Structure 1
């Protein structure tokens, strides 16, 4: 039966969920993709070849059992498909929405390599878990037993929340210290609603809270509580702060009004979506309405900024990137979505200077790709005489993020960091230089993907359990 249900990629064409019309979706922050019907999800899942060596599984950071839940979906066994999906992924409905599947599971699908078009893994993953929530298959967290040990998690983003899920299910006491007024990190305040609607994130936070996780919000470690105090209160600590320090422009005029950080721009927009009071949005500082917007950068954060600007009512939106389309780090799917919505991309271009205060013009240097750098990517180099100007009322810096100097900020001289400022942690155990202190996600890796933070958090949760079990045995002896 299973064989008859599968291997239909030869006769069944690849389909993705329908997108809302670009003109329509550019007017709001609702997700742009419509839902698969159950019949369509079963049909698309049946295209899986059930290959002997599943490269989709191998190239997923979480090593999700993708062929298994695709087969179960094709057979109409959706609750079982959800249980298999949830077994390796704390937030499958989030990964289904925001993972760059084109670079991970779908990009390595065997039938994609043979020219038949990849299985739409992400859309099916999203469908499975959304169906699970609708049918109350997502069970409340109910630990089999309670333990006395306590773990602190600094940072309520995907890495911290994934670890909290592992630890609370094991019966530990878990406290999450979060600097913002809502948990979720970049899932809540960085990623726009048109990619990830916020109720999707907050219902997972609520699930953890109902399961016993304590959230201490509006708590900035180093200001509202010291790192030493946290260490004294808990048996183990997990650092999952992420990286929020924006890389800066050093060109003349880069300190002018109207040149803003991407994280500030996106956070203001998301807070406004919650109905919060956001003075810098209301006074126009972090609002693109009626402005000529120039976003500098080529990653997914830049894509979030240009598409947010369109929805805020900018008169024009351009994205300036120093390499070409083929060499940009962001998702090609997001670039395509942005182009549909009216964003103009200026490839092989970099800012050289900014004029006006507030800014009104940007001097642009045309670039070309030269010799490869140490990573193998061609390095951009300026074209002699290739100078021109772009008009802009709002310039958004989406140049990537760096680590804050946590050891200095927290007075933790024994917390070892790397030359990039990230926390030095073992990639297997996630242990830092301080016994009982662990670190995960971007604060260790540098700016990376949500799915890697989830993997790190799950692994670190398991390692913390082993550490506490060992400490308990030593104490008993």
Structure 2
């Protein structure tokens, strides 16, 4: 009888890929986790319990067939494993690197609940796809038949790129418009290289270019081209702009020099990785070297900022968050990585005011947790008289993002938005209030995860194909 390749969680311990030591990795922007060796990937995949109701799959936004590709990996059938992962995920190597697996697939693994330690799903996913690229298993996008219809996509982030992939495979002509000089959106300019090295993103962009997708870069819709012109030029339009408007700080002194937005800070740092000239970095405005840095916020963007500041040579890096560690929205794994690299977290702390111009200190209000709010989390309340001054030469605002006012920016009053300013679109299809106009990702959901943008892009692309087919059928009558 053949040896059972799975259910080895009872005899094999969970083992993550080797992580570079903190004092080494904190000096550069390379990814901090090594690749699995072939034998280690098979070993860790073999820990999967192959449960009848796979919670890992149901808690993955893309509903990736995780148990099947883990089994195929354990059996050494790596090309089949990659093809299985690729069926539902346009960018598995990106999700394997940046998805918060501790909150999604791995956090809901059955053997984790039984105390055996979760299967290292994300690391195996990354290994599979990197192996696929190395071995030429990632095939070019070659449509079986070209179509005459064209779709314009506004935004070259994960949602727009995922939609473009599906549409080109169906033979649709695709043009992507983006305000930046490189495609990828936050994958390129928001997420630091130590989490996602940029060649990983750019090879997927190049795959789309080779497939015939046209990229129109440095193009700001509403300024360089009107939304109406896009609608007239294409048979359908997909809005995948993301949300880039930063939530602002309040309080005396909040407009001082030295208080900067997280998106500006991270974009400047990422541009340096392409050897671009960045005047704001060279002037010191967006450079943490030799400075006492305070980052305000508790999400993944804040984690990216604190870890970037460490690598730029800050003398100290502190993160203020108004709730406690258990209630922070960011990844616990990222928080641990930051602490190892020398970041100090000040929990239950909120900024009250700022001194100096340029900024020299932050007045910090100590908080406690009160009754739960509408979200179910306990609300932070100030402690009377508990205030301290925290020295700071650079303050980075990482308070989250809000949607821009697209109807005004694009002079399109017919584009319906919600009370939160996000584009109003149908669930699963992305269809908006305007005929032939669809929307996906953060501009619909609000600031969310890359994996949700990928799912939205894929789902909406399928809906756009249905829309184009229906128009074609009507024209043929």
Q: Which residue of 2 aligns with 1:152?
A: 152
Q: Which residue of 1 aligns with 2:427?
A: 427
Give the TM-score normalised by structure 2: 1.00
1:28 paired with 2:16, answer no
CA shift at 1:429, angstroms? 1.4
1:122-133 to 2 correspondence within 5 Å?
Answer: 122-133=122-133
Q: Which residue of 2 aligns with 1:98?
A: 98
Runs of 5+ in structure 1 lacking a partner?
A: none
| Residues 411/266 of structure 1: CA separation in 2 closer, same or farther (3 Å cut) | same
1:58-137 to 2 correspondence within 5 Å?
Answer: 58-137=58-137
3-state SS of 1:5 partner: coil
Give the whole-Å Cα distance in 2 for the aligned partners of 1:2 and 1:101: 32
Q: Which residue of 2 aligns with 1:241?
A: 241
Give the whole-Å Cα distance in 2 for the aligned partners of 1:437 and 1:60: 27
1:470 paired with 2:457, answer no
CA shift at 1:421, angstroms? 0.6
CA shift at 1:250, angstroms? 1.1
Contact 1:2/1:75 (8 A) holds in 2: no
CA shift at 1:3, angstroms? 7.0
Give the whole-Å Cα distance in 1 for the aligned partners of 2:172 and 2:254: 48
Q: Tell me how large the CA RMSD over aligned residues is.
A: 0.7
Q: Which residue of 2 aligns with 1:344?
A: 344
3-state SS of 1:4 partner: coil
3-state SS of 1:464 partner: helix
Deviation readout 1:335-376 (Å, 9 max, x if unpaired): 000000000000000000000000001000000000110111
Q: Which residue of 2 aligns with 1:362?
A: 362
Give the TM-score normalised by structure 1: 1.00
1:70-469 to 2 correspondence within 5 Å?
Answer: 70-469=70-469
CA shift at 1:428, angstroms? 2.3
CA shift at 1:2, angstroms? 7.7
| Residues 356/45 of structure 1: CA separation in 2 closer, same or farther (3 Å cut) | same
Contact 1:353/1:363 (8 A) holds in 2: yes
Give the whole-Å Cα distance in 2 for the aligned partners of 1:249 and 1:45: 45
Q: Which residue of 2 aligns with 1:4?
A: 4
Runs of 5+ in structure 2 lacking a partner?
A: none
Contact 1:2/1:71 (8 A) holds in 2: no
Superposed structure 1 runs of 4+ greater than 2 Å apart: none
3-state SS of 1:452 partner: helix
CA shift at 1:245, angstroms? 0.2
Contact 2:428/2:456 (8 A) holds in 1: no
Give the whole-Å Cα distance in 1 for the aligned partners of 2:202 and 2:376: 40
Q: How many residue pairs end up in the alignment? A: 477
Give the whole-Å Cα distance in 2 for the aligned partners of 1:190 and 1:2: 48
Give the whole-Å Cα distance in 1 for the aligned partners of 2:444 and 2:3: 43
Contact 2:306/2:319 (8 A) holds in 1: yes
Give the whole-Å Cα distance in 1 for the aligned partners of 2:440 and 2:178: 15
Contact 1:149/1:235 (8 A) holds in 2: yes
Contact 2:156/2:183 (8 A) holds in 1: yes
3-state SS of 1:206 partner: helix
